[in-house]
Amino acid sequence: MEGGCLCGALKYRVSAMPFDADHCHCRMCQRSTGAVVGSWMDFLAEQVTWLCGKPTEYASSDTTRRGFCSTCGSSISFRDTGYPKYYTLAIASLDDPNLVSVNYHIHTESQLKWLCIKDDLPKYLGSRQQ
C-alpha cells in the first residue's frame, strides 16, 4: 500500500498490512489532526519506506513525536520513542484508506459529546493498556 500527504511532498509505501489500527479521541489527536478523531494504523518500523520526503516531527510530549508535512501541514505519522520498533501512520493518508479496518476506539473520555458512534468496536476510556 502507498500513501502520502495532501501536496505530495511526502510519499510512503508499506510492505505489509498494519498489525493494529484504532480511532483515537484524545485531545492531542484532535488538535494535531484538526479532526474530531484521529484514525491510526500501526506497523513495524522496517515495514515503512519513505519514497519522497520525510515528515517533520513535533514533540507533543516527552516520548511522542507527531509527524507532518512541512509544506502542506498534513498530519501523517505518530511515533512513541519508548517503542522504537513501531511506526504509526494516519489511515486517511493512504491512497485507498478503505483497505484498512479499525479494531477499537481509545480515549473515548475525550470523545466530543455530539459525535455518535454506532459501530460495535470495543471502546476504551483511556488507552487500551489501562
Full 3-state SS string of 4-49: ECCCCCCEEEECCCCCEEEEECCHHHHHHHCCCCEEEEEEEHHHEE
- For residues 76 and 33, is the Cβ–Cβ distance under 8 A? no
Cell 485507498 identifies what position? 96
Q: What is the mean pLDDT of each run of 10 residues along the chain (130 residues)?
A: 98 98 96 96 98 97 97 97 97 98 97 95 88
User: pTM here?
Assistant: 0.95
What local confidence, expressed as pLDDT, does residue 129 receive? 72
DSSP 76-101: EEEEETT-TTEEEEEGGGBSSGGG--
Q: CA-to-CA distance for 34 and 5, rounded, in angstroms?
A: 15
What local confidence, expressed as pLDDT, does residue 128 receive? 85
Name the CATH topology of 2-110: 2.170.150
Q: CA-to-CA distance for 37 and 16, rounded, in angstroms?
A: 24
